[in-house]
Copies of this chain bind each other. A is one copy, B any other.
Amino acid sequence: MDKVRVGVVGLGNMGSTHAKYLAAGVVQGAELTAVCDINPDRLSWAETALGSHITTFDTIECFLSFPDLDAVIICTLHYTHPDVAIKAFAHGLHVLIEKPAGVYTKQVREMNEAAKQSGRAFGIMYNQRTNPLYVKVKALIETGELGEIRRTNWTITDWYRSQAYYDSGSWRATWSGEGGGVLLNQCPHQLDLWQWMLGMLPYRVRAFCSFGKYRQIEVEDEVTAYVEYTNGATGVFMTTTAEAPGTNRLEIVGDKGKVVIEEEKLHFWQLQTPETKFNQTNTEPFAQPESWQCHVPIHYKPNENGHQKITQNWVEHILKGVPLLAPGVEGIRGLELSNAMYLSSWRADWVELPIDEQAYYEALQKRIASSHSRQV
C-alpha cells in the first residue's frame, strides 16, 4: 500500500475539520474517499466543501462496507466511539478515534480488545501530545531530569462555557447524551497528558465533583480531585467551566527540580543536589539545596497543526510502521481517571484504580435512566 484511503464518520466540528485538511491533501500518503453523517445538511456541506468525488453515506454500515476505504476517522458522539470502532475493525479497517475514547471504561476495554484482535492500526486524536511544551515536560521526566515525582497540581479552569453553550444542543451536558461534563468533554487532553507525562496513573482518587452547580445541567461543572501514586507522590486536578478568566497552570515537583507550565510558557528549576541527598547530608538547620532557574527552549514549528500531525503519524504508522504518538489503546487511561472521579464523588469515598468497571457502568446507567434531554 502506498496510499491510505480514509473515510470520516461524523461531520460535526472535528469531523469536518479532519475531512477538510484531508481533502486539501495536506496529509501525505492519505486520500479522503468517503464521509458519513446521518444529517443530510452535513452531507450537502461535504459535497460542496470537499468535492463531488468524495462518496457520501448516511448509514455507518454502508460506509464501512465501501470498498475504497482502508481506514476511518471516527468523530461521532462520545458514546458511539467504541461501537463504531469495533464495527470498523470487523471490516478490517484501520481506526483513528476522536477523544474521549468512550464514556465508560468497560466499553472502551471491549474496543481495545477488538483492536488488538484485528491487528489493525488504532490511534486516538490526542493532538496535545504533539504540543512541544508537554513533549518537553515528558522528556524532563523520562530522562530523570526532574527526579522521582513527588507532587503535581493542574488547575485547568479556562474552559469557560456559559449556559448558552449548554443550551445549544439538547444532548449536551446530559448523562444520556454525553455521559459527563467538564471532565469528559473539556478535559480529556489534560487527563491524558497528566498520566502520559508522568508515565503513571494514581492508585487511588478522592474527588469532589459538583453537578449543575453554576449551570443548569445534569453533569459536573466543577471538580477538585486529590490523587495518590504508589511511589508516594500526590496530585491535585482542578477544573470548572464557570470561571473567567480561567487559569491553566501545571506544576510538577520532583526530587531534582520543579517545572511549571503557565500561559504557554515552561519554567524549570533545577536542583544542584537532589533534595533527598541534600537532606541526608546537610547539617545547617535553615539551609536548602541550591536551585537554578533554567531557560529551556521550546521548539515550535511554524504552521504545525497538532490534529494534522496525529493524522499524519497514524497514516505513516499504517504505511511504514512508524510508532504511534497516541495509540488508541491508551485512551482508556485518561478515561479511567474521570470515571474514578465520578465514582469517588458519588460514593463520597476513595476509589482505587483500576476501578470496578462494572460498578461504574451500573452507576452511570442509573443516571442515564433518570436523564432528560435539555430544553433548547
Contacts and interface: CB of A to CB of B under 8 A. Distances in A.
Interface of A: 150-151, 153, 155, 157, 160-165, 168, 206, 208, 210, 213-215, 222, 224, 226, 228, 232, 234, 236, 238, 240, 242-245, 247, 251, 253, 258, 260, 269, 271, 275, 278-280, 282-289, 291
Given A155-B251, A291-B245, A238 B236 contact: yes
A164 B288 CA distance: 10
Contact of A275 (B165, B242, B271): B242
Nearest to A242: B275
A234 B242 contact: no
A260 B246 CA distance: 12
B245 A258 contact: yes
A162 B242 contact: no
Given A214-B279, A243-B275, 17 more contacts: A153-B155, A157-B253, A160-B288, A162-B282, A162-B287, A162-B288, A163-B279, A164-B282, A164-B283, A164-B285, A208-B234, A215-B279, A236-B238, A242-B275, A242-B279, A244-B271, A244-B288
A236 B282 CA distance: 32
Contacts of A161: 285-286
Contact of A234 (B222, B258, B271, B286): B222
* In the complex, the 10 A-B pairs of residues with the closest C-beta atoms, listed nearest first: A165-B285, A160-B288, A245-B291, A168-B285, A162-B279, A162-B282, A244-B288, A244-B289, A245-B269, A164-B283
Contacts of A153: 155, 238
> Which interface residue of A162, A258, A280 has the most chain B CB atoms within 10 A?
A162
Contacts of A287: 162, 164
Contacts of A150: 242-243
A354 to B, nearest CB: 21
Contact of A244 (B164, B224, B243, B275): B275
A16 B279 CA distance: 29
Contacts of A238: 151, 153, 236
Contacts of A280: 163
A269 to B, nearest CB: 5
A240 B151 contact: yes
Given A222-B234, A226-B224, A251 B243 contact: no
Contacts of A228: 208
B236 A224 contact: yes
A148 to B, nearest CB: 11
A255 to B, nearest CB: 10
Contacts of A164: 282-285, 287
9 contacts: A151-B157, A162-B288, A163-B282, A164-B282, A215-B279, A243-B253, A244-B275, A244-B288, A245-B258
A59 to B, nearest CB: 29
A149 B311 CA distance: 43
A13 to B, nearest CB: 11
A247 B258 contact: yes
Given A224-B234, A234-B208, A165 B286 contact: yes
Contacts of A224: 226, 234, 236
